[in-house]
A and B are shown apart, each in its own frame.
Chain A
Amino acid sequence: MERRVVDLWVGLFVVAGIVALMMLALKVGNFGAYSAKDVYVVTAHFDNIGGLKEQAPVRSSGVVVGRVTGIRFDTKKFDAEVTMTMDGRFQFPGDTTAAILTSGILGENYVGLEAGGGSDNLKQGDEIKLTQSAVVLEKIISQFLYSKAQEAPDKAKE
């Protein structure tokens, strides 16, 4: 086949590959949705992180404002330290509350932020002091059973 025709087809082939990659990156993936260069890192301690994983979203009012970039066990406080990389466009007051929540019943865990009323904003390296652990289903059930068991003798007396 003539050289020019081969070049044309190979060019079309490469363009098709690039178009497919762009489609995957922009339409299918979250590239661009979260690629902020302007970021700051904050940490938070939780008694129990449940099923939280790295790369889980950090949401406030349901909007993704950052990602969990590190989870480690604090050997001094015996709890979990979660590192979050926050999008610099979103600033939060220093007394913001962080909670580990679940999207839907079977959904993945994420960190939910509830803004406080403080005047100073969270800065690079700050720690979120007010935290709420993940809800562990077994604990709720055992508390429920425990309270039911306490109720039962009261009813028997009546």
Chain B
Amino acid sequence: MVDGLLDWFRLIGARTINAVWRIGSGTRFLFLILLYSGLSFRRFGLTIRKIFFSGVLSVIIIVVSGLFVGMVLALQGYETLQVYGSEEKLGVLVALSLLRELGPVVSALLFASRAGSAITAEIGLMKATEQLSAMDIMAVNPIGRVVAPHFWGGVISMPILATIFSAMGIFGAYLIGVVLIGVDVGAFWSQMQDAVDFRYDIVNSLIKSLVFGIAVTAIATFEGFDAAPTAEGVSGATARTVVTSSLLILALDLMLTGFMMRGWN
């Protein structure tokens, strides 16, 4: 009984120490990426390939999800707004929810599952097949050659994807709200323009998605680089990438929103 309890405490301690250790080594890894990122800009072709890998290949899922999220928002928003007879505020509702929250957050979650997992799997498999060690032996720094281009490719792609997501969402809301339901088209756009501020809504949306991009790609590359060089290790690392980056996106979103909102302070 006592032994069981002690084991339980030992387990909690080990888990905690392990988590703190991983945070530390992850942060150190992020600094190493920044330190060795010279090559990703001197040979920008490397980074462009990774932008293709994580950005261009994610466009389809981002466009389709953005369209559907915008459509659903328009339907749901109309349902509630028409109770108060203010259907023409539909544009405002959709644009602000997309720009402030859903655009950056949902596209970052999609990015984590589409591109983050792929980055982890690729780097993890390169480690498992000893390609990274081979590079090291050939005096090529694997962090500078493989990891940093992945990192910068993801960081550059993320704000572009989030912007496309928001734009597609607003277009979807236009399709449902104006074309299908028949909200006045002039009121839809003009009320939206009146309420959406360039600095406080659009720029903040870009800042959010940039932060999420850094978080997701840093976690994805770290998990890949840190993976145990076995099939099981790579699959575990891929799963951890999606879980950790999704949780971190939501936590960061709360913090960033707290900084950015002006209504309550």
Contacts and interface: CB of A to CB of B under 8 A. Distances in A.
> Which of B163, B196, B206 gathers most chain A CB within 10 Å?
B163
Interface stretch (A5-13, A112-120, A127-135, A136-144): A5-13
B16 to A, nearest CB: 41
User: Which 5 A-B pairs give the minimum distances between C-beta atoms?
Assistant: A17-B160, A31-B198, A20-B167, A20-B163, A29-B196
B159 A17 contact: yes
A28 interface: yes
Nearest to A15: B160
Contact of A13 (B160, B201, B202): B160
Contacts of A106: 84
A19 B163 CA distance: 9
Interface string A10-51: 101110110111011101111101000000000000000000
A54 interface: yes
A91 interface: no
Contacts of A16: 59, 160, 164
Contacts of B56: 9-10, 12-13
Interface of B: 45, 48-49, 51-52, 55-56, 59, 84, 95, 99, 157, 159-161, 163-164, 166-168, 170, 189, 192-194, 196-198, 200-202, 206, 262-263
- Per DSSP, chain A at the interface is helix
A13 B52 CA distance: 8
Contacts of B95: 28
Given A7-B48, A53-B262, A20 B166 contact: yes
A21 B198 CA distance: 10
A3 interface: yes
The range of chain A's interface size is: 20 to 34
A116 B154 CA distance: 57
Nearest to B66: A20
Given A16-B59, A17-B160, A28-B170, 8 more contacts: A6-B52, A13-B52, A13-B157, A13-B160, A16-B164, A29-B201, A53-B263, A106-B84
- Per DSSP, chain B at the interface is helix
A55 interface: yes
A10 B48 contact: yes
A39 to B, nearest CB: 15
Given A13-B55, A29-B196, A20 B164 contact: yes
A29 to B, nearest CB: 4
Given A17-B160, A17-B164, A20-B163, A27 B262 contact: no
Contact of A54 (B166, B194, B202, B262): B262
Nearest to B167: A20
A17 B165 CA distance: 10
A24 B99 contact: yes
A119 B257 CA distance: 47
A10 B51 contact: yes
Nearest to A11: B48
Contacts of B202: 21, 24-25, 28-29, 31
5 contacts: A24-B166, A24-B167, A25-B198, A28-B192, A31-B198
B62 to A, nearest CB: 10
